[in-house]
Structure 1
Amino acid sequence: MDLWDRTGRIGGYGAALALTPYLVIKVSWVIGSLLGLAPIGAGFDVTGWVVLNTVTVGMAATGIAVALALVRPWGARLPGRPLAFCAWVGTGFLVPLLPYAVLGSLLLPSDDGPRSGADDDPAMPGWEAVLVQIGFVGMGLGLAVALPAYLRRRWPGVFAGRTGDGGSGPPRVPPWPAVTAVAIAAVWLYWAAGGTAGIAHPAERDLTGRLLTGVLSGWSLLAAAATWTIARGRPARLPRRVPLALCWLGSGALFAWSAWKLPFTLYLALARPADAALPENLLVAAVLHVVAVGTGAAMLRTLVRARAGREGVPTGPEPAPGPSPAGASP
């Protein structure tokens, strides 16, 4: 086991350990809500609150399982594509929160730290908020270390070489995901800077939401640039791992965050609770999230085609790998 694998193993175990308190907290919220022992989030009835937090329980459990699968022997026997997809969604959720957490510690008031979005509750005790924050940041850091080691073991040829060396994938990858990502980033950056077009409830805007929107707009721009580089093979001689990593993270952020926010936006549009609202016009927000989900998925397709072009393999279903030695990948 080389240094990459040892570091990845530490990252995977660390990610799973960091997110475990979040899972426990969410389970306690579900049980407490059903028993009438825990407060209900603003804008929700008991059923809606339990459903929302049950979903986050499933997401947390999946994240812990993915982190362990990246480093445990049984994970090497799983089909690569489903595991890579789950890791793509997980890193899309959490790695973008790393610069957000840093900027939030510098710019946000001490009582208004980084949050995850729709599942925040004003009655959350301070110690729970700290554990949630540690869970998100720790999981993001752990995946950022464990995932590259896993991908390097499983598909080493994808990351070798430089752009423009004949291994950049099919030459006619459609450029439209890069264009739509730039458009989405422009809208989000405009809102983050204080723009009011498309804002229905200006009073609901706060620095926390604007900061997260600005960070996501930056990841969208990075994903657009990386996708264009992968599709065109320019600038030449750039190490391939750079645009691949940026496309992976940025496309995952577009897909994961908008796929999470879209159901909440639709819920507000249909239920129209009196005590909850988004700053953005709900129709505009829903359209943006739909486009972002489609753009992120199309960028993932670009990554898959780049892998196929680099290794000369088909993009169809991957045969299930056979048993492998402990700690190795098929």
Structure 2
Amino acid sequence: MTPTPEPTGGPPTATAPPDRARRVLRAVAITACVPYIALKAAWLGGSRIGMPEGSVLLDDPAVTAVANLVTLVLDACVIVLALLLTRPWGRHVPAWLLVVPMWTATGLLAPIMTAYPLQLLVRALGGDGGGASGGGGGEGAEPFLHEWVFGMVYGGFIVQGLSLGALFALYARDRWGHLWRDRVRDLPPAGPVPRAVTGAAALVALVPATLHTLWAAGFAMGADGSRLAGRSTGELAVTEATSAVFPLVAVAGAGLLVLGRGGARWVRVPTPVRMPVPTPVRMPVRTRVRVPAPVRVPVRVPVRVPVRVPVRVPVRVPLAAAWLGSGATATWGGWITLASLGGGGIASGTSGSMYLAYACQMIAGALVAAVGARFLVGRARAHAGATAAPVRPTDAPAAAPATALGPASAPAPVPRPRAPDAPDAPDAPDAPDVRDAPDGRMSP
């Protein structure tokens, strides 16, 4: 018997040219990169546009030039990603070659997209602050950039994040959408390794979440650097609060993916319910003869009845939370750490507690990203095994192997049909005919 593999049905991969919406999103993403790239190119060319006199960016020109070059390359990668997500050749790119840059871009843009609109809202409501989005900084702070630079740069980042995120959502739905169509309660139980890694990420994430919360609330715990001066209220407090939220979001997403698997079908909520329970109480009854008789008296006893609440969380919700939280936590922790180690004004304003917070951010984000990657790889393997190609036998009969039993193990001859007018043949089996032998070709 010759096995013939059937064509597999695998996840659909769209190879058609991008539709109108994707073309518009691609054009918007590329256009939003132009102002930032032009500004960085002007700074690399020696221009000081947007920089006030005495800016900390002028303290170390070499470090500033390297930072401008790196950020220019990073923003140019957004253009490459926009093309990759919309062109036919982008369908054949290996998954890791797309996911890693996209995860980095999401992590760098998500905090800006969250914090900058909140900072504008605080300013509109009359809150004090500055520095992160203003040119003058807090009271007594050194000048950094002119106000219009932040509006142009951060506005462009928000547009880039929205358009690029929409393109990636469409791309991921077409290529990997089958991996997160289930609900959390339908996932198989996770092993001990993902659970241990998630627990370690939760413990590590408590350090930056706690420190950033204290700094946002006005406590100067370890904030002896000049970069945290004036961050107790206003716009800069929004930045610290945002940095405290993203580690918690990452851990919550990983916890739902790993710790809730196999046991999230029901959530038991113990609810105290008072109900009458008949309890036998022996009481003496006075008659001519004292005979103790049992009397049932209803006594109200509080009983806790577990109420089961069904959990119907789609897998894409905790997966998106782990993606956003881990990317924002790890990339910004690493970026600020590298910028601080590079010297210049930012290094002088970084304390030991801040280095600890950023290091823990990198570790927690990397652990959550590892949990998410393991989850997706496992889902891909499970889906590939579930859609394995079935084996179809051919029409040719299999040849029986010769054994020591001799002719008894040979297949019985198949008699040929006789014509109606043919004479009766002897009882001996028909002689083999060449036309009855299989020719080895598959039937249509």
TM range (shorter): 0.7 to 0.9
2:247 to 199, 220, 239: 220
Q: 2:81 aligns with which of 57, 66, 80?
A: 66
Q: Distance in 2 between matches of 1:306 and 1:219?
A: 20
Structure 2 residue aligned with 1:190: 214
Change (3 A) 1:284 1:111: closer
Name which structure has the greater RCO, CA cutoff 8 Å, separation 6+.
1
Q: How many residues of Structure 1 are paired with residues of Structure 2 in the alignment?
A: 303
Q: Aligned residue for 1:106?
A: 121
Moved over 6 A (4+): 37-40
When Rg is computed on C-alpha atoms for both structures, the one with the higher figure is 2
TM-score of the superposed pair, with normalisation by structure 2: 0.61
Shift of 1:55: 1.0
1:172 deviation in Å? 3.8
* Corresponding residue for residue 317 of structure 2: 242
Please report how far the alpha carbon of residue 238 of structure 1 lies from its aligned counterpart in structure 2 after TM superposition.
Answer: 1.1
Separation (CA, whole Å) in 2 of partners of 1:304 and 1:135: 30
AA at the equivalent of 1:65: V
Paired with 1:20 and 1:192, the residues of 2 have a C-alpha distance of 34
- The residue correspondences of 1:293-304 to structure 2 (distance < 5 A) are 293-304=362-373
Q: Partners in 2 of 1:61 and 1:146 — Cα distance?
A: 17
Cα deviation 1:210-269 (Å, max 9, x = unaligned)? 21121121121111111111111254431001000011000000111111100122234x
CA distance in 2, matches of 1:147, 1:154: 10
SS at match of 1:161: coil
Please point out which of 342, 360, 364 is paired with 1:291. 360
Whether contact under 8 Å (1:164, 1:233) holds in the other structure is yes
How far apart, in 2, do the equivalents of 1:313 and 1:233 lie? 19
Question: Which residues of 2 match residues 1-330 of structure 1 at below 5 A?
Answer: 7=21, 9-33=23-47, 41-42=55-56, 44-108=59-123, 112=130, 115=133, 122=143, 124-167=145-188, 170=191, 172-173=193-194, 174-175=197-198, 176-201=200-225, 204-206=229-231, 207-233=234-260, 235-236=264-265, 237-268=312-343, 277-278=348-349, 280-281=350-351, 283-312=352-381
Q: Secondary structure at the match of 1:218?
A: helix
Q: Choose 124-133 or 44-53, whichever is displaced more.
A: 124-133
Q: 1 CA distance for matches of 2:47 and 2:163?
A: 31
After superposition, the C-alpha distances for 1:49-76 in whole angstroms (9 at most, x for unaligned) are: 1111111111111122123212222322
Please give the alpha-carbon distance, in whole angstroms, between the structure 2 residues aligned to 1:162 and 1:16: 35
Q: Which has the higher strand share?
A: 2
Cα pair distance change 1:312/1:100, threshold 3 Å: same
Change in 2 beyond 3 A, CA 1:160/1:97: same
- What runs of 5+ residues in structure 1 fail to find an aligned partner? 315-330
Secondary structure in 2 matching 1:164: helix
Q: Any stretches of 5+ residues in structure 2 without a counterpart?
A: 1-13, 136-141, 266-311, 384-444
Shift in alpha-carbon separation, 1:296–1:9, aligned structure 2, 3 A: farther
Q: 1:212 to 1:6 in 2, by over 3 A?
A: farther
| Greater mean alpha carbon deviation, residues 165-174 or residues 297-306 | 165-174
Amino acid at match of 2:377: A
- Residues 108-133 of structure 1: per-residue CA shift (max 9 Å, x gap): 3699486499xxx9464554433212
RMSD: 3.3
Quick check: 2:131–2:236 contact (8 Å CA) kept in 1? no
**Does the 8 Å contact 1:19/1:139 carry over to 2?**
yes
Whole-Å separation in 2 of the counterparts to 1:116 and 1:253: 22
Higher-helix-fraction structure: 1
Q: How high is the TM-score relative to the length of structure 1?
A: 0.80
- The percentage of counterpart residues that share the same residue type is 28
| Contact residue 33 and residue 39 of structure 1 kept, 8 A | no
